[in-house]
Structure 1
Amino acid sequence: MTFASVVSAVGIGGSLGLSLVFLISKCFFLASTRAGWVLMACNILYETGYKRLGLRRFGADAMVLPLAVTGWWLSAGASYAAGFALVLGLAWGWASMVDSRWRSGGLAHQHRVYRNRAVLPVPNLIVQIRGPVLERRRGVDEMGVLVAGETLHLEVIVLNPSRVVPQLPLVLEARCDVCSLAIVAARSGEMPAPEPGESLRLALELQAVSPGTGGSVFVQLRHGDWSFKRQLRVREVVPRESARPTGVVIRRWRYGCRGAFAWRGDHDLFDPAAF
C-alpha cells in the first residue's frame, strides 16, 4: 500500500462522511420513523460544528458543501465531484424550500364570513399532545387500558414556527364518544393563536368514569382553513379491584418527549420540517 493510496482512501472517507452528514441532516422525512435517531445524530454533529465556528445554518451549509465536493474532486476525480455536487445541491434546495414553506405559512381560503375581503395568511402550526401515550400512529394515539377512577393529565402544545402573525382565533374542540370516559378539564372554544416563535399550552384531562369497553376522545384544532385532528383511543376501562399490574417495560428513549421539538440537537433550535 503506497502513501498515495492511503491519502486517497482518507480523502474518500472524509468526503463520504461530510456528504452523508450533510445529506441525512436534510432528510426530514426520517423524523417520524424508527430511523429518526440517525437524522438527530447527524444534526447534533452538524450543529456542534457550526456553533463552535459561530456560523448560522445557511453559512454552515455553504461551507460544508464545497468542502465535500472539493474532497471528492481531489480524491476520486471530477466525475464523482460533479455527481455529489448535484445530489447535495438538490438536497439543499429541497430542504430550503421546505423550511421556507413552514416559515411563510399559507393563504386561507375565502370562508363565507370573510367573503369579499383580503385573503389572510395562515401560519403552519405544529401541535403535540403530550401525556402517557403507549403508541403513536398517524392520526391516532393509543392510550392503552385505564383503571376506573383514573385521570390522565394531558397537555396540548401549539407552536407557531412561522413568521406569520395570526389574524384569526384558534378554536379547540374535544369530545368523547362513550359514557365510560369523560373530559373533566379542557379549555375549549376560541382563543388567541400563538405569535411567531411562541407556543400555547392547553391542559386536557381525561377521566375513566366506569368500567367498559373503552372508546375514543377526539381533539380538533382549527385556525382559518388550517385544521389538526387527533384521536385518543382507550382500549378498555377495567374495575379498580381487578387491576393487578404484573410488570412494567419502557421501550422509548427517556427524553424522547421533551426532545420532540429538538431534532437538530438543541431545544432552542427546533426543526418544524421534521413534523
Structure 2
Amino acid sequence: MKTLAAIPCHDEGLAIGSVVLKARKYVDCVLVVDDGSTDDTVEVAEAAGAVVVSHGVNKGYGAAIRSCFNYAKGNGLDVMVILDGDGQHNPSYIPGFIEAAKTGKADVVIGSRFLEKNETIPKYRIVGMKVLNMFTRLVGNMETTDSQSGYRAYSRRAIEGIRIRNSDMGAGSEILTQVGDCNLNVVEIPIDVRYDIDGTSSKNPVSHGFGVLMDLIRIFEYKRPLHVFGGIGILMLGIGTIVGVWVIKSYDISGILPLGPTLLMILLFIIGTFATFTGIILHSIAQLFDRLKAKGE
C-alpha cells in the first residue's frame, strides 16, 4: 500500500521543515503544495525531503487541495493523508488515519476535535463549527462531528472520485457534500489541534466561516434547486394568499378594491408561480445531468 502525506501551505517556512520530517516517519512520500509562498517554504520543505509542487502565485486553499488530489491520482497512491503545515496538526496521528482507512474500509477518515472532550478550542469557534456542521449535513446528507477539520485521509476510491471546484476555504465542505454522490464510507478518529501557535491562519475566523457558509449555500442551490426555488415560490404564494384574503375582506366591507394591496397580491402570485416552476425545471435538469454522469462513469 503506497501512502502519502500531503501538506498544503503558504508562507510556513518556520514550521514546514519540522512537519515534513515528522510525517516522513509514517508514509512512503511527503508532498508539500506551496501556494505562492513569499518566504523560504519551498527551500525548507525540499531540504527536509519533501516533494514540492509550487503554484507560483497564491491560488487559495482549495486550489492547493486540488493539487494534492491530482498528485495522488497521478502517482497511484492508495491512501493520502492531508494535514496543515503550520504545526497545528500533529503528524503522529498519521498511522491512526492509515489504519482506519485499511481496517475500517473507510474512504474518508476525518480527524475530529469533538469525539473526545477538548477544552483548547475557543468557544466562538465551536459555535461557528456547529453551524457549518449543520449546513454540511443539510447539503451533503451526511453526519460528521467536525466538517471543518483539515486533517483527513482519503482512499484511492475517494482520490479518484472527488472533484474539487472551490479554490478557497470552502473546499473541505465541498468534498463532504460529494460523499453520498460517490458512495464513499466515512469514519472519524479523535485528534487534538494546537491553538497556541501564532499566525496559523491568514483569514479572520468570522470571515472564513461566513465564506464557507456562502459556498455551502451555493452548492445547495446547485444540488437541490427544487428545495430552494420551490421553497421561495411556496412562501411567495402563501404571502400572496394572505394578502388576497385581506383584499377580499376589504372589498366586502367598503365595496372598493384597494389598488396597492391588489397589485402586491398579483406580483406575489407571479413571483411565486415563476419560482416554483423554475425549481421544478432546474430539478429536472439536475436529475438528467446526474443520470448522464452515472452512465459516463
TM-score by length of 2: 0.20
- Where is the helix percentage greater, Structure 1 or Structure 2? 2
Looking at secondary structure, tell me which structure has more strand per residue. Answer: 1
